[in-house]
Amino acid sequence: MTNRNETTPLPTSDPLAPAVDVPRWWQSGVVYQIYPRSFADGNGDGTGDLQGIRSRLPYLSALGVDAIWVSPWYPSPLNDGGYDVADYRDIDPRFGSLAEAEAFIAEAHELGLRVLVDIVPNHTSSEHVWFQEALASEPGSAARDRYIFREGRGPDGALAPNNWTAVFGGSAWRRVADGEWYLHLFEETQPDLNWENESVRAEFDDIFRFWLARGVDGFRIDVAHGMVKDQSFPDLEHSEGLLENSQVLDHPHWDRDGLHEIIRRWRGILDESGRDVMMVAEAWVHPHRLPLYLRDDEYHQSFNFEFLETQWDLVGARTAIDDAIRAAAEVGSAPTWVLSNHDVMRHATRLGLPSGTAWRAWPLDGPHDVLDTVLGLRRARAASLLLMALPGSMYVYQGEELGLPEVWDLPVDVLDDPVWRMSGHTHKGRDGCRVPIPWTREGSSFGFGANGAWLPQPATFGPLSVESQTGVAGSTLELYRSALHLRRTLFVDDQRFEWVDLATDVLAFRRGSGVVCIVNYGDASVALPAGDVLIASQPGVTTELPAGAAAWVRPNGT
DSSP states along 349-404: HHTTSPTT--TTTHHHH--GGG--HHHHHHHHHHHHHHHHTSSSEEEEETTGGGTP
Cβ nearer to ligand GLC, comparing 113 with 120: 120
Reduce the DSSP state of residue 233 to 3 states and report it: coil
Under rule CB under 6 A, residue 255 binds ligand GLC: no
Here's the x/- map for ligand GLC, 65-104, by CB under 6 A: it reads as ---------------x--x---------------------
Cβ neighbours, 10 Å, residue 142 = 12
Here's the x/- map for ligand GLC, 335-354, by CB under 6 A: it reads as -------xx-----------
Under rule CB under 6 A, residue 240 binds ligand GLC: no
Which of 66, 100, 192, 222 forms a contact with ligand GLC (CB under 6 A)? Answer: 222
Reduce the DSSP state of residue 15 to 3 states and report it: strand
CB of 307 to ligand GLC, least distance (A): 17
CB of 188 to ligand GLC, least distance (A): 13
CB of 186 to ligand GLC, least distance (A): 4
CB of 8 to ligand GLC, least distance (A): 44
Under rule CB under 6 A, residue 120 binds ligand GLC: yes
User: What are the distances in angstroms from CA 384 to CA 194, 449, 477, 550, 551?
Assistant: 40, 28, 12, 9, 11
Under rule CB under 6 A, residue 454 binds ligand GLC: no
How far is residue 302's CA from residue 446's CA, in Å, rounded to a whole number? 34
Under rule CB under 6 A, residue 224 binds ligand GLC: no
Cβ nearer to ligand GLC, comparing 139 with 241: 241
Measured over the CA atoms of residue 377, residue 388, residue 53 and residue 93, the dihedral's sign is negative
E strand spans, 232-369: 278-281, 301-302, 336-338
Cβ nearer to ligand GLC, comparing 94 with 342: 342
Q: For residues 300-313, b (16+ Cβ closer than 10 Å) or e, as one string?
A: bbbbbbbbbebebe
How far is residue 72's CA from residue 37's CA, in Å, rounded to a whole number? 10
Using CB under 6 A, count the residues that bind ligand GLC: 9
Pairing of strands 30-34, 67-70: parallel
Cβ nearer to ligand GLC, comparing 223 with 278: 223
- Residue of 218, 38, 35, 211 whose CA lies nearest to 113: 218
- Residue of 538, 512, 509 whose CA lies nearest to 525: 538
CB of 429 to ligand GLC, least distance (A): 10
The residues annotated with a catalytic role in the active site are 222, 272
CB of 118 to ligand GLC, least distance (A): 8
396 in Cβ contact with 442 (< 8 Å): no
- Centroid of chain to Cα 327: 19
CB of 419 to ligand GLC, least distance (A): 8
Under rule CB under 6 A, residue 223 binds ligand GLC: yes
Q: Which residue of the chain is nearest ligand GLC when measured via CB?
A: 83
CB of 145 to ligand GLC, least distance (A): 22
Cβ nearer to ligand GLC, comparing 10 with 224: 224
Under rule CB under 6 A, residue 281 binds ligand GLC: no
Cβ nearer to ligand GLC, comparing 186 with 420: 186
HEC secondary structure over 109-127: HHCCCEEEEEECCCECCCC
Cβ nearer to ligand GLC, comparing 185 with 536: 185
How far is residue 87's CA from residue 101's CA, in Å, rounded to a whole number? 15
Cα radius of gyration rounded to whole Å, the chain: 24
Reduce the DSSP state of residue 318 to 3 states and report it: helix
- Residue of 286, 332, 333, 331 whose CA lies nearest to 306: 286
Cβ nearer to ligand GLC, comparing 303 with 439: 303
Which of 173, 186, 362, 408 forms a contact with ligand GLC (CB under 6 A)? Answer: 186
Cis peptide before 458 (omega within 30 of 0): no
Contacting positions for ligand GLC (CB under 6 A): 80, 83, 120, 186, 222-223, 282, 342-343
